[in-house]
Structure 1
Amino acid sequence: MTKTNLFKTYLKYLLPTLATMVLFSTYTMIDGIFVGQGVGSHALSAVNIAMPYVALLFAVSMLISIGSSNIITYYLGRKDEHRANEAFTIGLFLSFTISIILTLVSYFNLDILVDMLGATDSIKDLVKDYLSVIILFSTFFIMTYIFEIMVKADGTPQLAIVFMVVSALTNIVLDYVFIFIYDYGVKGAAVATGIAQTLPCIGYVIYFRSKKAKLSLTKFKLRLSNLKEIFIYGAPASLTELSTGFIILMFNNALGDSYGEVGLTTFSVLAYVLTLVVNTMLAINQSAQPLTSYFYGAKEYGVVNRLKRYMLVTVAIAGILIFTMIQIFPGQVFGLFFKSDDVEFIKFSIYALRIFSLGFLVLGFNTGIGGYLTAVKRPKYEFIISALRGYISISLSIILIPMIFSHHSIWYALFASELLTLLVSLFLLNKSSELAKK
């Protein structure tokens, strides 16, 4: 394969995947914009409190979908269609089963869940209103994302963007109808989001039952080795997605203690921006991953190295663009979500966003390197990276930085955490290259 053909193939996966993720993040942000503008800042804080649960849903999706996808594309590279279809079927079965269990457990323990998320008394009822609806649509959240990853493994990534556009437009229209026309508040926003996840799920089911799909359901025996293989390859990406919810949870608790509702309201906007950035970087990762896994299975290691370079350059460009836009237009970002005449609050929020966004320059390299390492059969390395950046280093940064300096320095925590993780990522990437030479 020539460099030109490889780059075109990479773009074929990158553009629809990136567009899909950005659209998803954008309509999630629009959900927040409608809530902030139509219901108020209290409601926006309530939705932010609930975001770790939504992150959990997508973490479960990634655990199974990324694990299954890597196995599927690996066997497709080996021309073993039966094993690929078996991995596809097992992935769907596990996703559906786990989603039903998660829905039931969450719904019947709603009060406990709301308390675990750290909802304050002033917004607890709003959090319950929002979560009670989202939980009922949990299966569609999980299955839609599973199908989105599977359709890329199937070789038709452009279909994902079609369904995402349908989902995004549905969410926007229903947000307006339920919040501004019928005044359903946060429950209306949750229903709009749930329906927007349901429609593409139905579309994917129709596609995979058609003759156009290469992957198909087949009989399978669920062995422990199957589960182990899927979880090993899916766990790092799942941890990365779940880490967004964990980071939001950690910041919510720390900022609630230091700044009260002012800090929570500010971070509710930062959380949406963070989700957009993480999803953008994950999209770049997911674009390169199936191709890398395929060519690694085919033992075309020169192609694998070129894909790694494409991925890292794309991550760098995306990080710089996002950071630059935030530095230039921070006030406009907050203006999208709510209106405030409090000049000091706006100054505080802009200050926080500009510093917090330093982490976006580094974040993508950690997710990208981790995804590459899993694709070349080093999932343990990505697990180390995911655990460090999403849990260990961010926890230490949020706790220690304000203690050593001042509570205002907490906004540097993300940058410090990602920078520390990058040192480890580069070490593991170099170690992986050395192992490949042996």
Structure 2
Amino acid sequence: MNKKHYRKEFAKYTTLNVLGMLGLSCYILADTFFISNGLGADGLTALNLAIPVYSFVHGSGLMLGMGGATKYSIYKSQKKQNNMNLAFTNTLYMYGILALIFVLAGIFLSRQITTLVGADDAVFAMTHTYLKVILLFAPAFMLNDIFICFVRNDGSPRLAMTAMLAGSLSNIVLDYIFIFPLKMGIFGAVFATSLAPLISMGILSSYGRRKENQFHFIKTKPALAAGRSILSLGVPALITEVSSGIVIIVFNIIILGLLGNVGVAAYGIIANLSLVVISIYTGISQGIQPLLSRAHGTRDTANIKNLLRCAITTAAVLSCVFYLLINFFADPIAAVFNKEHNAQLQEIAISGLKLYFTAIPFAGFNIILSVYFTSTETPIPAHIISLLRGLFIIIPAAFLLAGLWGITGVWLAFPVTELLAAGLGWIIYLRHNRTLP
């Protein structure tokens, strides 16, 4: 593939996926804005406590979608039609099992999960409502993630973007209607969020009738080997999403002990804005994934290296822009989500934004490198990077740094973690790169 062509494809896929992921991240950001304005600091705290469960549901969908679609893209480049259909079919088998588990958890365990995430009496009812609805709608969230991944890898990134944006825009409109005119409270917010994947899938459903659609469900028994391969390639996506939820729980517990509910509300602003910024890096990585998998399937090593270089350079430039914006506009950004004009919340959020977001250049690098390894069927390094940044470094760092420097240490735990993970990830990549032709 010549340089002009791969750059054109890179620009097309990453731009469309970044736009789609930005829209998708508006699920939570819209909730943050409307809940903070309609339900105050307690509503914002409840939302932040519930986000880990949403992250787990969304991460499970991405695990199946990214893992299955990566195998599908590789088989497609090798023109193995039966294997392409087997990858899609086995992805749906595993989806059915996970969807049932989430629904049963929503029916029977939602109160216990609410207690587990740290909700106190002041916010228990709102947190429980949000969690239960998310779990009951988990099948829709997951299936939407799967279809978006497969449609993107089948050569239709524009349709995938359109579906994501349509779902997200509908969520914003319905959020406003349900919370303000209809006064449905926290249930209105989560119900609007839960309808979004249904709207998205309504748009994606047209793809099944198109001639260019090359993935189909076939009658076959579940294949254990195919399932293991899909899960292995998709686990880093799950780890990334789930670990972000676990980190939010840990940070909430630490901040509750340091500053109480107002501190958690301030962290809610930071965490939700972080989801939007991280979604851009996720969009870049998911944009290059079909291209990397296709190049890997045809053993085009030169194109693989070129795509990775373009992705990392793009992420680095965007990181500089984002941090400058956040650093200079931290005050008005925090004020948007602080309708009650709580001076303590404002001060905590401003300080946190400036420290927390020093991590974004390293986070972008880690996300892209992890997807690079999974896209080229080298999942172990991706597992290592995801586990280090998501669990094994950040949680001990949060407790250690909080013990040393209080809330400042909490904000610094994220950049310290991403920096260390990026350093190790670079070493792993250099060693891996020596083995390539």
What TM-score, normalized by structure 2, do the two folds share? 0.97
The superposition leaves residues 306-350 of structure 1 with CA deviations (integer Å, 9 ceiling, x where unpaired) of 011011112112222221111111122222222243434422320
| Structure 1 counterpart of 2:64, one-letter code | I
Give the superposition deviation at 1:277: 2.1
Counterpart position of 1:315? 315
Counterpart position of 1:304? 304
The 3-state SS of whatever aligns with 1:399 is helix
Question: How well do the aligned residues superpose, as a CA RMSD in angstroms?
Answer: 1.4
Counterpart position of 1:262? 262
Counterpart position of 2:48? 48
Counterpart position of 1:173? 173
Counterpart position of 2:125? 125
1:58 corresponds to 2:55: no
8 Å CA contact 2:49–2:119 kept in 1: the answer is: yes
8 Å CA contact 1:47–1:127 kept in 2: the answer is: yes
The superposition leaves residues 10-31 of structure 1 with CA deviations (integer Å, 9 ceiling, x where unpaired) of 1121111100001111242012
Distance 1:19 1:404 in 2: 40
| Structure 1 counterpart of 2:387, one-letter code | A
1:100 corresponds to 2:100: yes
Counterpart position of 1:415? 415
Distance 2:431 2:125 in 1: 50
Distance 1:73 1:426 in 2: 26
The 3-state SS of whatever aligns with 2:403 is helix
| Structure 1 counterpart of 2:167, one-letter code | S
Distance 1:378 1:165 in 2: 31
Counterpart position of 2:357? 357
Distance 1:75 1:178 in 2: 45
User: Kindly tell me: are residues 406 and 176 of structure 1, through their superposed partners in 2, closer, same or farther at Cα, counting changes over 3 Å?
Assistant: closer
1:111 corresponds to 2:111: yes
Structure 2 counterparts to residues 217-296 of structure 1, below 5 A: 217-296=217-296
Counterpart position of 1:380? 380
Counterpart position of 1:33? 33
Give the superposition deviation at 1:351: 0.9
| Structure 1 counterpart of 2:397, one-letter code | S
The superposition leaves residues 218-267 of structure 1 with CA deviations (integer Å, 9 ceiling, x where unpaired) of 23331210111011111112111212111111110110111111210100
| Structure 1 counterpart of 2:185, one-letter code | G
* % same residue: 28
Distance 2:104 2:205 in 1: 23
The 3-state SS of whatever aligns with 2:291 is helix
8 Å CA contact 1:378–1:432 kept in 2: the answer is: no
What TM-score, normalized by structure 1, do the two folds share? 0.96
| Structure 2 counterpart of 1:424, one-letter code | L
The 3-state SS of whatever aligns with 2:436 is helix
8 Å CA contact 2:23–2:169 kept in 1: the answer is: no
8 Å CA contact 2:265–2:345 kept in 1: the answer is: no
8 Å CA contact 1:126–1:186 kept in 2: the answer is: yes
The 3-state SS of whatever aligns with 2:435 is helix
8 Å CA contact 1:96–1:143 kept in 2: the answer is: no
Instruction: Give the unaligned 5+ runs of structure 1.
Output: none
Distance 1:250 1:288 in 2: 32
The superposition leaves residues 367-421 of structure 1 with CA deviations (integer Å, 9 ceiling, x where unpaired) of 1111111222210000000000000110111011122344432211100011111
Distance 2:56 2:231 in 1: 15
8 Å CA contact 2:130–2:187 kept in 1: the answer is: yes
Counterpart position of 1:84? 84
Instruction: Give the unaligned 5+ runs of structure 2.
Output: none
Distance 1:7 1:41 in 2: 46
Counterpart position of 2:144? 144
| Structure 2 counterpart of 1:249, one-letter code | I
User: Kindly tell me: are residues 340 and 421 of structure 1, through their superposed partners in 2, closer, same or farther at Cα, counting changes over 3 Å?
Assistant: same
8 Å CA contact 2:263–2:345 kept in 1: the answer is: no
The superposition leaves residues 256-297 of structure 1 with CA deviations (integer Å, 9 ceiling, x where unpaired) of 111111210100111101211222211111111121111111
The 3-state SS of whatever aligns with 1:217 is coil
Counterpart position of 1:153? 153
Distance 2:190 2:407 in 1: 34
8 Å CA contact 2:263–2:348 kept in 1: the answer is: no
Distance 1:7 1:384 in 2: 29
| Structure 1 counterpart of 2:364, one-letter code | G
Distance 1:319 1:325 in 2: 10
User: Kindly tell me: are residues 197 and 16 of structure 1, through their superposed partners in 2, closer, same or farther at Cα, counting changes over 3 Å?
Assistant: same
8 Å CA contact 1:340–1:346 kept in 2: the answer is: no
8 Å CA contact 2:282–2:367 kept in 1: the answer is: yes
Distance 2:341 2:174 in 1: 29
Counterpart position of 2:331? 331
Give the superposition deviation at 1:205: 3.0
Distance 2:406 2:376 in 1: 42
8 Å CA contact 1:288–1:311 kept in 2: the answer is: yes
The 3-state SS of whatever aligns with 1:181 is coil
8 Å CA contact 2:102–2:136 kept in 1: the answer is: no
The 3-state SS of whatever aligns with 1:216 is coil
The superposition leaves residues 189-208 of structure 1 with CA deviations (integer Å, 9 ceiling, x where unpaired) of 11111111211123323422
Deviates more, 1:393-402 or 1:86-95: 86-95
The superposition leaves residues 71-101 of structure 1 with CA deviations (integer Å, 9 ceiling, x where unpaired) of 0111111111221121012212322331122
